[in-house]
Structure 1
């Protein structure tokens, strides 16, 4: 198992744009979850790009020292639970209309925001997503 710096560098060599840290990716995941809870108003391409912060964490967890994993897992699990509460599981049907879905183990790609607002909401609704419209709620 590797240190956080080694994992960041290794994942960058595998194609990530920079050698991220766990703290950076957890912070990005927290920001995305908060935005989804409020009603994510960005475009579908921004949303799919933002989901990759969770992919990084998934990849890093397979490589990191146990100590680092144990330290961060409770916070990530809490964010995952908030994400699940703020999203709807449609097995990726709506999102797959706009972005190739990664493997089935990456469950966050198979959900979409419960609150459908802005450009993302319009796009997902056009692909059959059902959710809450904040303007009519």
Structure 2
């Protein structure tokens, strides 16, 4: 495995500036990627919160989208495989919204394949509580588990 040289002070400063400009000011590139990794793992296991909560939880991926173009080219090249792997896992653990394009903020237009719900909870068009505002019936690929 080829070793890469450590980042320069200028590259570290550029990463900090990119994260400051594109995120909340308290995050780091590592914490944004860790947040995305953790959310992806939660979705893979079965997401137990509502659609509005998922929208809120996706802040880390949206922040990465804002930060990524501002990063130094070498940092992007080094970290791109990691981001791509998390994105691929998220796509595999979710299904796209019917009839919606996968462009732009694609992560906002996907539904976890497995949704956790309370036993006996009411359903609307197959959706558990907290997902009943979806503008389409629950896709067959989405399983609701109790």
TM-score in terms of structure 1 length: 0.76
Aligned residue-pair number: 122
1:74 maps onto 2:81 in alignment: yes
Which is greater in Rg? Answer: 2
For 2:29 and 2:83, the matched residues in 1 are separated by 10
Structure richer in helix, relative to its length = 1
Unpaired runs of 5+ residues, structure 1, are 94-102
The CA RMSD over aligned residues, in Å, is: 2.6
Identify which range, 118-127 or 31-40, moves more after superposition: 118-127
For 1:53 and 1:105, the matched residues in 2 are separated by 15
**Residue 21 of structure 1: aligned partner:** 28
User: Given the alignment, which residue of 57, 61, 67 partners 1:60?
Assistant: 67
TM-score in terms of structure 2 length: 0.72
How do residues 1-137 of structure 1 correspond to structure 2 at under 5 angstroms? 3-11=14-22, 16-91=23-98, 104-118=103-117, 121-125=128-132, 127=134, 128-130=137-139, 131-135=142-146
Cα deviation, 1:106-132, whole Å, max 9, x if unaligned, reads: 111111101122389533255323211
For 2:56 and 2:46, the matched residues in 1 are separated by 17
Q: Secondary structure at the match of 1:133?
A: strand
Structure richer in strand, relative to its length = 2
Identify which range, 120-129 or 64-73, moves more after superposition: 120-129
Unpaired runs of 5+ residues, structure 2, are 1-10, 119-126
